[in-house]
Amino acid sequence: MTKSEKVTFVINTLNELYPEIPIPLNHKDPYTLLIAVLLSAQCTDVRVNQITPLLFAKADNPYDMVKMSIEEIKEIIRPCGLSPMKSKGIHGLSEILIEKHNGEVPQSFADLEALPAVGHKTASVVMSQAFGVPAFPVDTHIHRLLYRWGFTNGKNVQQTEKDAKRLFPRELWNELHLQIIWYGREYSPARGWDLEKDIITRTIGRKSVLQEKTK
């Protein structure tokens, strides 16, 4: 298969498997999505979805969030890990949203990435899922799969994002990055990987990856 044929195969297979794409993190608006994505760093989405209802019951907007102390936020989000940094980030970004953005989550990469504890991946998720702006957030699943499929050299997530955007049509980015995440979890995980179930890697996978797997 040519590279473009492989890309088409991936798109078609993912559309068959995931015609309806659930959003991994529970949220009701851009602010609650921003907080949930921030909490998901080095934490599972399942755990985040268990913790956010507890946090949002006390504060689901920046005005209520700044009334809480950093210590109070930290105690609630502790099970998500990195709670000292995340609690400062949540409190700090809530203050900035009130001071600079009328309490609203800004709709630009630059403004989002200027917020405390918000990196490019978090900004990309918010831009794509909250505002519908084409973006291709690269998490560990996407980074792993695009390497396994031979679409990137896998040296870093920045390169993986560039390669993904170059290969896949812009109008598909927002759906596709979610489809790849779900596929990675269900069919091509880092641990307990069964190549027989992983039709995409089995069909178009990088030769070195397949050889290593079938030793």
User: Is 139 annotated in the active site?
Assistant: yes
User: Is 3 annotated in the active site?
Assistant: no
d(CA 48, CA 174): 21
Burial status of residue 16 (CB atoms within 10 A of its CB: 0-12, 13-18, 19 or more): exposed
Q: 159-164 long-range CB contacts below 8 Å, 24 or more apart?
A: 161/136, 161/137, 164/136, 164/138
d(CA 128, CA 44): 20
From 118, 130, 106, 120, select the one nearest 161 (Cα to Cα).
120
d(CA 95, CA 150): 43
74, 86, 139, 198: the active-site residue = 139
Which residues lie below 8 Å from residue 167, measured CB to CB, with a gap of 6+? Answer: 3, 7, 151
6, 74, 86, 121: the active-site residue = 121
Catalytic residues: 121, 139
